[in-house]
Amino acid sequence: MVSKRHHYNGGSVLLIEDEEQLAASIGSYLESRGHSVDYAHDGLTGARLAEANEYDVVVTDGILPGIDGVEVIRRIRAGERKQTPVLMLTGRTDLEDKITALEAGADDYLCKPFDLRELDARIRSLLRRDRREVAQTPLTVGDLQFDPGTLEVRRAGKLIDLSPISLRLLAILLRESPRVVTRAQLERHVWGDSLPDSDTLRSHLYILRNAIDKPFDRPLLHTIPSMGYRISATDTSTDAPKSNATLE
């Protein structure tokens, strides 16, 4: 007999949320989607659990009793399991708040109120262990190098620490370099069919740019207004693609 069990493969999720009813409804939905869920109702407990156990993804509310979500993320990033992907739930929609969450080390964020299906999709996007993109040989543009085998990013020999989403954005931009990748292509590549709001990609690219370009004197990541983004070692003044150049 063929087993009829046909669960999605989920991950182990730590949910840090102080509103117990909300935590219960989020948790039971995630369990119905094949995830296993641990709960913490305050920041300190959450940070301790995240340090004690290996979770595939930590989902933390921003506003929590004790220590807040940003502090939870800082502690995770300073601890033994600093690679754990973290998704932060934020109550506000300001771009600045989102960037604060990402700068604190969140891999992604979701604004309340949200659709539970979207939360599941975002968690899955962080779960994808197989981040080895098609090419296994290192991708290099200028002095920037990404090794899809080890997931190491270096610029001018200096190791750069990137979140899973930044890595995925960087991988597609490097693979397509020096071509322009549209916003829609980037969003689909990272989030699949569950497209985030328009600020999300912008915030992640801001973080990526800070990591790979800001400490260096020459920018490699270029914004092409109303088209998208490209990574190229050539000067930005020639960024606008010429219509005949794409035909070559």
- Which residues of this protein are in contact with Ca ion, per CB under 5 A? 18, 61, 63
Q: Which is nearer to Ca ion, 40 or 231 (CB)?
A: 40
Q: How far is the CB of 63 from Ca ion (least distance, A)?
A: 4
Report the DSSP pairing between strands 86-90 and 228-231: unpaired
Q: Which is nearer to Ca ion, 63 or 224 (CB)?
A: 63
Q: For helices 95-103 and 69-78, what crossing angle results, to 10°?
A: 30
Query: Using only C-alpha atoms, what is the Rg of the chain?
Result: 19
Q: How far is the CB of 161 from Ca ion (least distance, A)?
A: 28
Q: Which is nearer to Ca ion, 16 or 212 (CB)?
A: 16
Q: How far is the CB of 79 from Ca ion (least distance, A)?
A: 22
Beta bridge partners of 111: 90
> What 8-state DSSP symbol labels residue 153?
E
Contact predicate 118/194, CB 8 Å:
yes
Q: How far is the CB of 120 from Ca ion (least distance, A)?
A: 20
Q: Which is nearer to Ca ion, 39 or 216 (CB)?
A: 39
Which residues, in sequence order, are CB contacts of 240 under 8 Å at separation 6+?
224
Q: How far is the CB of 69 from Ca ion (least distance, A)?
A: 8
Separation between Cα atoms, residue 83 and residue 53, nearest integer Å: 13
Q: Which is nearer to Ca ion, 91 or 215 (CB)?
A: 91
Separation between Cα atoms, residue 74 and residue 11, nearest integer Å: 22
